[in-house]
Structure formats: structure tokens, C-alpha cells
Amino acid sequence: MRRVRCPRCQTPYAVPEERTQNRVRCAGCGREFVPDLAGFKTRQRDYTGLLAAGGFLVVALLLFLIFGGLGSSGEPEGQPPPLFGEAPGATLPPSAEPAAATPSPEDPAVRVARSFVESVTTYNRERLERTLAFADVYASASDGERSWIDLSAAEQAEFRRSFVDSLIHGERRGDLADREPVEAAVVSGDDARVQVRLLLKGPVAAEPYLFRLVREGAEWRVAGFEKERIVEPPAPEPGPKRPTLVDQVVLSDGSVVIEDEIRPMEHLEDTPSEARTRIDALIATLVDPNPRLGMEIAEAREKLIEIGRPAIPRLLNALHDIPADGADNLVRLNLVNKTLEAITGFSTSFAPQLGEGSITSASPERLHSGLKQWFAWWKLNHKKFEERVDGADPFADLQVKPLRGAAAESKPEPRRPPP
């Protein structure tokens, strides 16, 4: 161990040899110094001459003196006090680096705001009276008829007492009591007035508070505080509902119709499983080509009409599944078409002409377009349709893609397909 003294206050220390070139801080005066450069080294005794002159007896005596005088810790008794103000028995910091520098102090206004909150929590009346700008507090609380300087000394003292009481024991304490400042920042101000935001951690959550401070001479004083009101930006107004796009098509005869892709259709999500099974069975009977099932087909049609909306997607699926060719298929498609008309009150250009013993249809273009018109109607109406309403316009909110078809260039006025 190397014995050294602080160059400033002369406090003695014992420093391990391996630390004599490191910077250390005096626990007495706080000065930092390097033991090797301090100029106060205690020279270790040189026993070489004594050993040579005194022989074995001197060596034995010295060994007894040295090892017999050691305490249980292995250090000589009467060791100087430890460095850095540590508790007795503590050792020097293991790091060879100098002790960490003290963090730079907070902004003075932030420090005053923190002290104000802590004073409310700890009922510290004296500190509260030192940190409040009573003239500004009074100006905010009064009706404006009298200013602070118009009050007598007794009136000012009474206002101080009553206001501090409200912070310690009254209604104002509830805003700040049992809250710990966890974040702080000066958010606005100048050399005379500032606004400090403190994030105060409470029992449930942390909330932001704004503190107004004014400068009185060289010191900042709290003039008021309030919970920060966080204004949520207004929700954007919903734009106009965008209608579903379908195709507006001009047929070769000049009629303008609304079409959509023919595609497979599943049951509505809210249709129970038992109802799904029944609907599929009724549609299978409706489109059965067996002529001996005439009565069963008529009954299936009536039951599907009675079911109404839940049957529509699967009837449309039948339009997708049945090929639009041959007399038998046209009859089956027409049964589905008429059932849909009865349920919805809507009709398309699908209108095969029934002749005795045969079917003479309209043009293939109109028949195929009629099937597409059903899918366009469902795309536009599936959410709002509940039951048949005669006279309702199914295309009231229609938005269509550009015209296409044989007469697209002439752009005729749209007209509904014939019933």
C-alpha cells in the first residue's frame, strides 16, 4: 500500500500500488489528484542495511513485527480513511477510469417545477412559499379589481397562507399529490416567462402537466399549473360512399343494359346450415329435367319464393352452372329466371319465347346479357335488399364503367331492359 495525502486538505489515504497512477477524488474536499504526482508519497522503509548488519535475529524480529501487527483483514491497523467517502471496509472502485463526472444540472426552471411538485407531495410549506410567484398566482385567481400591490401586508400574508393550505390540504393537492416527475422539458418561453412540461407518474398512469414560471430577480417562481389538454385531431369526415362498379353495355339493338361477370355464388354468411341444405335441395328439384316432376317443380318454386333473399345467391349460382344452350337448358334457366323475378321484382333481357313443342329464343346476345344483368343487380343490391318492393329503382346509386359494345360510340340514353 502507498500512503499519500490530499494536496489540498492533507487528508491521509492508503492507496494500492497498482492504483497510484489513477486519478482519485478526496472524500474530504472533493479534489481529484494522482497519487504518484501528489508530492506527498510516504517512502517505504529500506530494511536491507539492517538485515545485513543485524543478521538473522533482526530479520526474525522484523518478521514478527510485520506479521504480528497485521489485523484479520491483512491491512495494518490505523489505516487512513477510505477514498470517495465510502463506508469503512469498502475498496477503491475496480475501474481504472476516473470517477464519473456529476451530470450537468437541469434547467433552473425545470428544477423549480420539480421542487414544487415534491413540496406538495411532502407537505413542505416553507419550500412552497419560496417557489411560488404569489403576485402572478393572485392575478390569475382574483377578479381583477385589486392588484397584488394594492393588498396590505396582512392581506398578502393571508393569501399566501390560504393558497399554500389549498396545495397541502385542500382541493389543489389532489392534482399533484403522490405523483413523481419522470420526464421534464421547457416547451416555450423567454428570459422572463417559460412553460415547463412535467410528465407526472401517478398510481395508475403518467399524465403531462404544464407549469407556468416567471422570473423574479435571479430565481424562477411557479405562477400556475394545469393538466395538459391533449386535443385529438378531428376524425376525417367520411367521403361519399363509393358505389360498386358494374359494366354499362350497349347491345346491338341499341339498348343500354347493366352487366357483371357470371360467377359461382355461395350462400349468405348468416344462412343457417339447415336452411342451406333445404335451399340447395329445392333448387335441385327446380332445375331437374325430369318432366314427371311438374308438381314438385312448382312446389319447389313457391317455397323458394317464400324463402326469399337467402335463396338468391344459390339461384344465381344455378344460372352460372347451367349452360345457356339447348331447349332443355333454356327451360331450366327460365325457371330460375322467373323465380328470381318473383322474389326481387326485377327483370332482365333474358326472355326466351315459349312455342308449342319448342323454344324460340331472343338473340343469344340478349339471353347471355340477361344472365349477366342478374349478377349486376345482385352486386348493387345484395346489402340493402330485404324483400320485393314494386316500383323501386335497383340502380338508384349506380356508378358504371365506360360504355362498351356495338353502339358505344353513339352513347344513347340508358334505358331499362324490357320486363
Q: Which of 331, 409, 315 is nearest to 367 (CA)?
A: 331
CB-neighbour burial class of residue 211 (10 A; exposed 0-12, middle 13-18, buried 19+):
buried
% helix, strand, coil for the chain, step of 5? 40, 20, 45
**Residues 134 and 276 grouped into a single domain:** no
Q: Work out the percent of the chain whose per-residue pLDDT is above 70.
A: 68
Asked if residue 232 belongs to a domain, the reply is no
Residue 266's pLDDT is 94
**Residues 250 and 366 grouped into a single domain:** yes
pLDDT at 203 over 60: yes
Residue 150's pLDDT is 86
Residue 31's pLDDT is 75
Beta strands in 78-205 (DSSP E): 180-189, 193-201
Residue 189's pLDDT is 84
Answer positive or negative: Cα dihedral of 64, 65, 69, 75. Answer: negative
pLDDT in tens, 168-202: 887 777 677 777 887 888 888 888 899 998 888 87
Asked if residue 417 belongs to a domain, the reply is no
Asked if residue 95 belongs to a domain, the reply is no
Residue 56's pLDDT is 58
**Residues 78 and 119 grouped into a single domain:** no
**Residues 277 and 208 grouped into a single domain:** no
**What's the domain range around 202?**
108-227
Mean per-residue pLDDT for 211-219? Answer: 90
**Residues 54 and 181 grouped into a single domain:** no
Q: Which residue has the cell 489515504?
A: 13
Mean per-residue pLDDT for 322-326? Answer: 85
pLDDT in tens, 1-45: 777 777 777 777 777 777 777 777 777 677 777 777 654 444 444
Residue 58's pLDDT is 53
Asked if residue 102 belongs to a domain, the reply is no
Treating both helix axes as pointing N-terminal to C-terminal, what angle do 273-286 and 312-321 enclose, rounded to 10 degrees? 40
Residue 186's pLDDT is 85
Residue 388's pLDDT is 66
Residue 47's pLDDT is 44
Instruction: Return the higher-pLDDT residue of 228 and 282.
Output: 282
Mean per-residue pLDDT for 265-281? Answer: 93
> Final residue of a domain: which of 85, 120, 153?
85
> How far apart (Å, rounded) are the C-alpha atoms in residues 303 and 286?
10
> How far apart (Å, rounded) are the C-alpha atoms in residues 233 and 214?
31
pLDDT at 257 over 60: yes
pLDDT in tens, 98-148: 333 333 346 888 989 888 988 888 888 899 898 998 988 888 888 777 888
Read off the pLDDT band of 158 (50, 70, 90).
very high
pLDDT in tens, 357-389: 445 556 788 888 889 999 989 988 888 888 766
Residue 137's pLDDT is 87
pLDDT at 79 over 70: no
Residue 404's pLDDT is 54
Asked if residue 182 belongs to a domain, the reply is yes
Asked if residue 234 belongs to a domain, the reply is no
Cβ–Cβ under 8 Å, residues 335 and 364:
no
**Residues 112 and 254 grouped into a single domain:** no
**Residues 121 and 72 grouped into a single domain:** no
**Residues 178 and 52 grouped into a single domain:** no
**Residues 260 and 354 grouped into a single domain:** yes
- Counted domains in the chain: 3
**Residues 220 and 250 grouped into a single domain:** no
Residue 347 identity (one-letter amino acid): S
> How far apart (Å, rounded) are the C-alpha atoms in residues 42 and 4?
6
Residue 242's pLDDT is 58
What cell was used for 286?
327446380
Read off the pLDDT band of 96 (50, 70, 90).
very low
Indicate the average pLDDT of the chain.
Answer: 75
**Residues 326 and 352 grouped into a single domain:** yes
Asked if residue 172 belongs to a domain, the reply is yes
